[in-house]
Structure 1
Amino acid sequence: MLPIETLAPFFMASILLALAPGPDNIFVLTQSALRGRVAGLLVTLGLCTGLIVHTTAVAFGVAVIFKASALAFTALKLFGAGYLLYLAWLIFRSSAETIAAGQRSELSYARLYRRGIIMNVTNPKVSIFFLAFLPQFADPARGSLTLQMLLLGGVFIVSTILVFGGIAFLAGSIGGWLNRSPRTQVIMNRLAGMVFVGLALKLATVKR
């Protein structure tokens, strides 16, 4: 199995990658500001559940399909972009009352968890990134590469939970103060909708 001399630099690299601005941590930031810390943490758990899918795909070679097949890559990214546009549409049609009701609804938390999963799983760039990143820290001389990939993926997920959890905590604190005003709630919701549109366009135009 991999030694601490390999896992420690991999963990630090994973922390830095999680801190780099990207669709996932922006999603955590906006949802935490809109709905609070708990919502942000649930989004984080959803995104990390998606990372489990990507880790498994890389460990068992499924990600190679998305790297080799332009059709599979395009289909998945367009589905993801369409889903983000759907979320933006839901936000834009919300009033201040429905926003407040959605924030109080436990069901909305369940939706946020599912949204985190879908958003992460439908981004084929994550699997391709893992396919390029994880093998750099694996060593065939140390046993099963599949088990090593799963271990590295697990370490990456832990680092993501720590960073995204911190983002959720900080953004949730600010959002709790801003959300006291119904007008501010609507403005923040519209801004989140614009972020979703931007993320959808970015995903739709991404190259392999």
Structure 2
Amino acid sequence: MISLQFLLTAIVVVLAPGTGVVYTLATALGQGRQASVWAALGCTVGIVPHLLAAVLGLAAVLHTSALLFQMVKFAGVAYLLWLAWQALKSGGALSIDADRAPVPRFAVARRGALINILNPKLSIFFLALLPPFLSGNAATATAEMVLLGAIFMAFTFVIFVGYGIFAATARDAILSSERAMRWLNRSFAAIFAALGLRLALERA
């Protein structure tokens, strides 16, 4: 069940730059190492509803219900566009600014959680990813899916924290350059906007 193939697949999927990675990097550069850990925690917690949906079969319902899928999807699109604005806006929640006030840890984690919660493709992803690695025993299928999902979440947290710590090491140099901060704020805004557009084009 917990095969080398599953572990490698999970690591590769988590390492691939996505919305959660971008959010963690932006948080690390804008608010430091400790905040990036909370961002990683939030992104990890945001996986839980999708894992439960896959285990309970609700992901299949989401996949077959066009209305429900569209509702969650466009809520996610709106949220990503809001994050883009917060990166671009002076003093915004994601802007990189040497004079910004610290952001409460819970707020950092909450934003990370919402990024994943409002991504309907994640439930369908778990529904496709986990079953091939199950033992085939119907009596233990639920427990096996929960275990595999928990391993995936652990990888997510550890790897995202790694991304955050790496980015935080460059924070002092970036905060000393107005040009670098301006460039990064625009870049993160463009990335979040592009991710929102990509999500808008997704189909169930």
CA distance in 2, matches of 1:196, 1:7: 34
* Partner AA of 1:28 in structure 2: T
* Partner AA of 2:81 in structure 1: L
CA distance in 2, matches of 1:158, 1:7: 16
SS of 1:195's equivalent?
helix
> Are 1:196 and 2:203 counterparts?
no
* Partner AA of 1:153 in structure 2: G
Tell me: CA distance 1:142–1:62, structure 2 relative to 1, closer, same or farther (3 Å): closer
1:121-163 per-position Cα deviation (integer Å, ceiling 9, x unaligned): 1111111010001011112327321111111100101111222
CA distance in 1, matches of 2:30, 2:48: 26
Match of 2:97 in 1: 99
Alignment RMSD, CA only?
Answer: 2.2
> Are 1:49 and 2:45 counterparts?
yes
> Are 1:152 and 2:148 counterparts?
yes
Match of 2:28 in 1: 32
Q: Which runs of 5+ in 2 are unaligned?
A: none
CA distance in 1, matches of 2:111, 2:148: 24
Tell me the TM-score normalised to structure 1 length.
0.87
Query: Structure 1 vs Structure 2: percent identity of aligned residues?
Result: 33
CA contact (8 A) 2:73 2:200 kept: yes
Once the two structures are TM-superposed, the CA of residue 183 in structure 1 deviates from its matched residue by 4.4
CA contact (8 A) 1:34 1:188 kept: no
Q: Which runs of 5+ in 1 are unaligned?
A: none
Tell me the TM-score normalised to structure 2 length.
0.89
CA contact (8 A) 1:46 1:115 kept: yes
112-121 vs 190-199, greater mean Cα deviation: 190-199
Q: How many residues align?
A: 202
